[in-house]
Amino acid sequence: MKKLSIAIDGPAGAGKSSVSKILAARLGYAYLDTGAMYRAVTYEAIERKLVDPEAVAAMAEALDMEVLPGQDGMHVITDGRDVTPFIRTPEVSGRVSEVSAIGRVRKAMVALQRKQAEKGGIVLDGRDIGTTVLPKADIKIFLTASVHIRAVRRFKELTEGHPEMTMEDVEKEISRRDYLDSHREISPLKKAEDAVLLDNGELTLEGTAEAIIRICRSKFPGFDA
Ligand code: DC
């Protein structure tokens, strides 16, 4: 059985990265967190005080970005430095939709993502994997849950580092990002026509991974996991 490429798209807080990690570990596949790549570009833009989209684009194109697997998920190395610990702050989350809407930034990241996925045997999570990055992915999943359920999940993650945030703040931030990500001009967040819609509001992360494995089995009868 050939190794599959599995695209998992969906809005913030749907559990894409946790589910992708479980799947990749179970299948012995690589895992590519494409959101972390846009976050790393955003972090660098903030560090370098870049606001003008042309300046951010030029920086992203020149950035030496490497993605490496780690015990705790994927690590992003920019210009030789591991920036993973700094890319999930509210400041980066607040600007990442703006940065990821810049066409030249997307072009640079999509090229890197396709290169990583060339050999198959990979789970990619993002917003435009099934529509743009890998339109021929073997399996396409659009993973979602209600805004409220996603906000509850994010709230649990976030409040550990930021006790000042309220549930209302998190719900507003998720809705704002949903809107921006799905209304941008280039590669908006959208279910690919041939993607399977999976609402995991009532499922655990393990249960979601199991549901995706069942989808793989039904499409590829020889699939073994
Ligand atoms: O998955 P995440 O929340 O870490 O992603 C951060 C942002 O990056 C998200 O708000 C939109 C953007 N993104 C994107 O535009 N395309 C992707 N393939 C992945 C993420």
Which residue ranges form the domains of the chain, and what is each CATH number? 5-218 (3.40.50.300)
Distance 181 CA to ligand 1 centre (A): 8
Q: Is the CB of 20 under 6 A from ligand 1?
A: no
200 lines ligand 1 (CB under 6 A): no
Strand pairing class (30-33; 122-126):
parallel
Q: Is the pTM of this model over 0.85?
A: yes
Distance 221 CA to ligand 1 centre (A): 32
Cα separation values, 126 from 1, 54, 63, 80, 143, Å: 26, 24, 20, 24, 10
CB 153 near ligand 1, within 6 Å: no
Q: Looking at residue 29, what is its pLDDT?
A: 94
pLDDT score for 156: 83
User: Running along the chain, 225 residues long, what does each successive block of 10 average in pLDDT?
Assistant: 94 94 94 97 98 98 93 91 95 94 97 95 96 97 96 81 81 92 92 97 97 96 82
Q: Is 183 exposed, middle or buried (0-12, 13-18, 19+ CB in 10 A)?
A: exposed
Q: Is 12 in the pocket of ligand 1 (CB under 6 A)?
A: yes
pLDDT of residue 197: 98
Please give the radius of gyration of the chain, using alpha carbons only, rounded to the nearest integer. 17
